[in-house]
Amino acid sequence: MVRRFAALLLILALGAVFLPLFLAYHPDTSLNPTALYYAERTAQDLGAANIVTAIVVTYRGLDTLGEVTVLFLSAAIVGLVLARDRLTPRPHTRVPAGELLTTGSRLLAPLIMLLGVYIFSNGHLTPGGGFQGGAVIASGVLLLLLADPERRFGHRIIGFIESLSGVAYVLIGLAGLYYAGGFLDNRILPTGQVGQLFSAGAIPLIYSLIGLKVGSEFSSILADLSETEEL
Amino acid sequence: MAQISLATGFLLILIGFYGALTQRNLMRMIVGFTIADSGVNLVIVAIGYMHGRTAPIIDSTLPAGEAPARIIDPVPQALVLTAIVIGVGVTALMLAYAYKLYQAKRTLDISTFTELKW
């Protein structure tokens, strides 16, 4: 009871912090200088149609590299924490998945993965990108795991795709340092015409690599969690 | 409009933290944290919202020249995009630790883990 009361008190204090923030909120009527810069310069400087993508991949590309690293770190720690349990063989007492799930996953999983590839390769044109596409690819992997929990994915292949795309991402960033304006500058390739698939310089390339990396990281987390399911 | 999402976001943060603080089951605590996580994302997106404007994507209906006058703030969206992914990673990490703790004590009740209690 005391514990619950203390928690309530803390939440009320936090609410008291939020209340003035909420009351003092006035919606902007025009973009702030940072957003205005991005809105004005993205199309002519970078050639990307999706301004959010331009911010994520180019203007704040270093931030995104760090974020992909954090994701890699969490995937690696999940693998490390669950590592020992994977060695012990489990008893085969499973009920097989239903006919609908098995057949449906056979039909849907390739389509879902194709959709993921579409989403990350069109990240500079549509509201998609590497993170969304990677998550969609991992959802295809999740469907396969649901249909057949005994299925084993090659950790070696997942790890290979993951590290290869990570290394290529950094190399493209370094190429920007020598051939364009700075680290992760997308103008190492021609920016082309806004709205075309092959435009925005290296952004589609970088976002595809991010998509592969995020997809393989999520897939490895799912595989790790699935393989330690039995207790 | 933005006020509603802002209030919802703040409320979700409070609900999530209250749940994380009062629940005894590790799984429920993790759910609390993810609710708070969604709340934070909602607040950030709501701050970037501007009435009567459109998504920051240039296409045939939104020429590049009109973008500064017609799009909403793209920066919060970029921040939330990354925050969501980090949230998934953190949740996976919490679940892995919860699994290990369950393995150690065969229970998810947080009050049985007294080793670090003072």
Instruction: Tell me the pLDDT tens digit for each residue of A130-171.
Output: 888 888 998 998 888 888 777 777 778 888 888 888 888 888
Task: Report residue A230 as tokens.
Answer: 């039995």
SS3 at position A97: coil
* Phi and psi, residue B54, nearest 5°: -120, 175
Please indicate if any CB of chain B lies within 8 Å of the CB of A101.
no
**CB-CB: which of A18, A194, A231 is closest to B64?**
A194
Tell me the sheet residues that pair with B57. A50
Can you tell me the distance from the alpha carbon of A215 to that of A73, in angstroms, rounded to the nearest whole number? 14
- Report the interhelical angle of A130-147 vs A99-121 (nearest 10°): 170
Residues on chain A touching B84 (C-beta within 8 angstroms): 131
Mean pLDDT calculated for residue range A104-128: 87
Long-range residue pairs from A107-111, CB within 8 A, at least 24 positions apart, any chain:
A108/A140, A108/A143, A109/A140, A109/A141, A109/A143, A109/A144, A110/A140
- Residue A88 clears pLDDT 60, i.e. is over it: no
Q: Give CA–CA dist B28/B110, Å, rounded.
A: 10
Select from B59, B99, B100, B106 the residue whose CB has the most chain A CBs within 10 Å, as the one to mutate to test that interface: B99
pLDDT at position B11 = 92
Q: Do A60 and B67 touch (CB under 8 A)?
A: no
Give the ipTM.
Answer: 0.81
CA-CA distance, A189 to A198, in Å (whole number)?
10
Task: pLDDT band for B12, please (50, 70, 90 cuts).
Answer: very high
CA distance A127 to B71: 14
Q: For residues B1 and B54, give the distance between their C-alpha atoms in angstroms, rounded to a whole number.
A: 14
| Identity of the highest mean pLDDT range in A73-77, A86-90, A176-180, B8-12 | B8-12
CA distance A146 to chain B (A): 17
Closest partner CB to B6 (pick from A25, A40, A131):
A25
pLDDT at A16 over 80: yes
pLDDT band (50, 70, 90) for residue A202: confident
* Single pTM value for the model: 0.83
* Facing residue for B99 by CB, picked from A27, A29, A228: A228
CB contact under 8 A, B7 and A127: no
> Minimal Cα distance from B64: which residue of A?
A43
Q: Which of A7, A43, A52 sits opposite B18 (nearest CB)?
A: A7
- Residues B29, B23 contacting (CB under 8 angstroms): yes
**What is the Cα–Cα distance from B20 to B31, expressed in whole angstroms?**
8
Q: Nearest CA of chain A to the CA of B87: how many Å?
A: 9
* pLDDT beyond 80 at A90: no
Looking at per-residue pLDDT, the higher value among A87 and A207 belongs to: A207
